[in-house]
Every structure is written in C-alpha cells, then in structure tokens.
C-alpha cells in the first residue's frame, strides 16, 4: 500500500505560487514567456515539501489534466503558469481573437472607478476576463457576495487597438479595457 499519496491540488497551489508570484523563493528562473524546466520545478517542490520526494513529471501532467481550471501547461521539458502572474516585468503573450463578448465579475463599490478608468490589471500583469457570466460571477464572489457582472464588447475594443490574449478555455487576458467598451449588467 502506498502511504505517500501526493495531493495534486496542493502541488498545483504551490506550483502556481512558484510560477506566478515568487519564483525566487523556489530558486527558479523564468524566461520572458514564463517557462522554466520541469526538473527545476520538481527539485524546488521536493525541497519545499519533503513528502513530495516521489513527485515526478507524470504527476505534474496529471495535475494539469485533472485540474478544474487549466492553470499550467507543459511543452516538452518545460512548464509555465498560463495566467495570474504578479511578477515584475510582463510575460510575453501573443494577441488572439477572443469571443465577441467577455465578462468580468467585480465589487459594485468599484464601479465608479471602472466607469472612469476602465479595467486595469491592478496587482497582476493582465486584466482577467471570463468567457461566460457564471465564471465571472464565481470570480467576482472572491471580492464580494453579490458581484456586478461587466460585459466587455471585445470586437469594438479590438478595433480600437485593445489586445486580448488567451489564458485558458475559460479565461482571457487584456492589458487594460477602456471604459467605453464595458457595460454593467
């Protein structure tokens, strides 16, 4: 019987912290697109949590495959977080064409500010947008019990020069979204 079952949710949380927020705490170097060698991450995770001494690349692949939200990706022998970075310096992203409408859940108390400045990344590198209202509502509930759902007219925003980047199947990113492309539901 294997007594050393690895909690993949805990691995995901720690990997996210290492790849999104404080790679230096784990002695990781990220390239300008956020990639780091899988072996470097595995070594850092094992150092952080000795109970993960059996952790391997297959566990990371399973972590990604079984996660409810796609937060990481593997390409060959490297891994990165897809979005949510709070690191200095922006990770390079390639603009893509988003769905016609995206959504953002927020606290109603900040609506006056959003109506003036639009959506800004605040402590993150990008503004996070959702593909559906329910996901936006779920994200907004982290900020308040009854979030306001904002509707982003992406075609108009793109025509005005706003770039959008795919984060994963449910999340899109933008550098910022000016107020004229935002409607409160």
CATH architecture of 101-184: Alpha-Beta Barrel (3.20)
Domain spans in the chain, listed from the N-terminal domain onward = 8-81, 101-184
CB proximity list for 176: less than 8 A, separation 6 or greater: 118, 119, 120, 121, 127, 162
Q: What is the pLDDT of residues 111-161, one digit of tens each?
A: 999 999 999 987 677 888 999 999 899 888 878 999 999 999 999 999 999
Instruction: Provide the whole-model pTM.
Output: 0.60
Where does the pLDDT of residue 84 fall: very low under 50, low under 70, confident under 90, or very high at 90 and above? confident
CA distances (Å), 95 to each of 98, 163, 165, 172, in order?
Answer: 9, 6, 5, 10
Domain 8-81, what fold? Arc Repressor Mutant, subunit A (1.10.10)
Q: What is the pLDDT of residues 12-70, one digit of tens each?
A: 999 999 998 878 777 788 888 889 999 999 999 998 898 999 999 999 999 999 988 88
């Amino acid at each position: 019987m294997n007594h050393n079952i690895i909690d993949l949710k805990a691995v995901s949380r720690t990997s996210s912290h290492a790849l999104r927020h404080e790679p230096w705490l784990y002695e990781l170097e990220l390239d300008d697109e956020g990639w780091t060698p899988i072996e470097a991450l595995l070594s850092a995770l094992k150092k952080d949590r000795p109970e993960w001494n059996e952790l391997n690349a297959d566990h990371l692949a399973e972590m990604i495959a079984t996660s409810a939200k796609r937060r990481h990706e593997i390409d060959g022998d490297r891994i990165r977080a897809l979005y949510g970075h709070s690191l200095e310096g922006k990770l390079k992203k390639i603009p893509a064409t988003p769905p016609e409408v995206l959504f953002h859940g927020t606290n109603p108390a900040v609506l006056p500010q959003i109506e003036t400045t639009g959506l800004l990344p605040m402590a993150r590198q990008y503004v996070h947008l959702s593909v559906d209202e329910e996901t936006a509502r779920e994200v907004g509930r982290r900020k308040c019990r009854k979030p306001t759902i904002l509707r982003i007219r992406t075609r108009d925003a793109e025509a005005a020069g706003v770039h959008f980047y795919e984060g994963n199947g449910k999340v899109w990113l933008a550098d910022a979204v000016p107020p004229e492309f935002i409607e409160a539901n």
